[in-house]
Structure 1
Amino acid sequence: MRRFPVFRLRVTTPRLELRLPSLDDLDALADLAAQGVHDPQGMPFAVPWTDAEPAARARGTIQWQFGQWSAWSPEKWSCSFVVVREGQVLGTQEIAGTDFAVTRQVSTGSWLGRRFHGQGIGTEMRTAVLHLAFDGLGARHARSGAFADNHASAAVSRKLGYRDDGFEILNRRGEAAESRRFRLSRDDWTTPPGFGIHGLGPCLPFFGAGGAPDQQAS
């Protein structure tokens, strides 16, 4: 898509490819959401979207992606990649920025289909978007957060070198819950071998990391 080249952006890892989803990818992602992405007794998300019925989760997953595309601007963007291994959609990895041209800061979020948990995929796909942020976009900091009982997410952050950055109290299913914040500095980051970024040049203005989007996309 010439006017929105982010659809041609790819981030690759030793096992995975991250890209904006095609319509077929969205169908596969929606199916994963309907099947469940975490133990229903817990809630890892500040917005409890997974409490919806399976059909509503699937539909909402598709609508969320369309909403992110339509709202995209260099001043405020959210890039929700599908995570693909050998042609199979495994989940989604988001990287987002607000006033990135000034702040040089991104945040991340993700989920995987339940049957893909425990295989190191969460770490690999987070590493992929950190590679994009630091080595591709020129970010200075990356933020993440997790509820205090979301040990898997916190473990990924610590494994990748994030440092504790305080906490906040959020409303989770009508109850107060502690959410821990983590921050990773560019100075503490080294991309491991085997990671690549493809098709980034024309996309830079869309992330607030270059010139005028319309000029670059022409």
Structure 2
Amino acid sequence: MTLADLWPATAVRARAGDLELRWPDDAVLLDLAELASRGVHAPDAMPFQVPWTRGTPREVARSVLTYQWGVRGRVGPEALQLELAVLVAGEPVGMQGAGGRDWAVLRTAETGSWLGREHQGRGIGSRMRALMLELLFDGLDARAVTSGAWADNGPSNAVSRRVGYLHDGDDEMVRDGRATLHHRYRMTRERWLEVRDANRRLLGAPVEMSGVRELRAELERPGDGAGS
């Protein structure tokens, strides 16, 4: 019996050229925690709804570990929380996640991600989102994928538009005690089929996936409470 037999998500891989998404073991998580401790955004910005990047480098690094350890068990038909490490040429550069309730019925997930500041501005953000969309739609048979970003988060909004999400309205949400405009984005399966070829050109290499068939079977089986 292997870890992948018991928990198929641990064997998930998606690759396009030098870019890879894969389940992070503790060694990779430690590298990612150290990366985040060196900075994810400018000190005067806050791109996240939960301000986990505030604090000392040690506190930020611990936030990465505690969050990832806390969501590892949330991969099942009732709740999908799939957090994958992003590697470029084997080097961990960030995280790309997707989560949604009642996956077996709704097949809808919201994407979220972060990228170490030293790796930004190289087009990795768009490529890792495109690769996650391949995994969700073509690998796991998603019906829709959503995303969101504060109005002043130019890079995140640009990534959503570049890979083909459609604007799905705005909300005012609280950030640092103030009402702040937040943009919503949505991609249906029909929209994905329209933009898939463009995203594959963006990735620049054929997409290879492994471990996805086993995870899909796990997500479609009758729930036993493991993902709740």
2:225 is the counterpart of 1:200? no
2:212 maps to a residue whose letter is: L
- Unaligned 5+ segments in structure 2 are none
1:184 maps to a residue whose letter is: M
Q: In the alignment, which residue of structure 1 is the partner of 2:33?
A: 30
For the aligned residues, what is the CA RMSD? 1.5
User: For residues 40-89 of structure 1, what are the alpha-carbon distances to aligned partners after superposition, in whole Å with 9 as ceiling and x for unaligned?
Assistant: 11100011111122111101101111100134432112111110112210
Alignment of 1:37-48 (within 5 A): 37-48=40-51
User: For residues 132-180 of structure 1, what are the alpha-carbon distances to aligned partners after superposition, in whole Å with 9 as ceiling and x for unaligned?
Assistant: 1110111121100000001111111111111111111111111111110
Per the normalisation by structure 2, the TM-score is: 0.88
Q: Decide which of 72, 84, 94 is 1:81's aligned counterpart.
A: 84
Moved beyond 6 Å, runs of 4+: none
Alignment of 1:50-199 (within 5 A): 50-189=53-192, 190-191=196-197, 192=200, 194-199=206-211
Cα distance change, pair 63–212 in 1 and its aligned pair in 2 (3 A): same
Whole-angstrom distance in 2 between the partners of 1:205 and 1:75: 13
- Unaligned 5+ segments in structure 1 are none
User: For residues 88-134 of structure 1, what are the alpha-carbon distances to aligned partners after superposition, in whole Å with 9 as ceiling and x for unaligned?
Assistant: 10000001121112212111000000010011100110011100111
Whole-angstrom distance in 2 between the partners of 1:90 and 1:117: 9
Give the conservation status (yes or no) of the 8 Å contact 2:77–2:222.
no
Per the normalisation by structure 1, the TM-score is: 0.92
- 1:212 is displaced (CA, Å) by 4.6
Give the conservation status (yes or no) of the 8 Å contact 1:68–1:77.
no
Cα distance change, pair 151–51 in 1 and its aligned pair in 2 (3 A): same
Report sequence identity in percent. Answer: 40
- Give the aligned length: 212
Q: In the alignment, which residue of structure 2 is the partner of 1:15?
A: 18
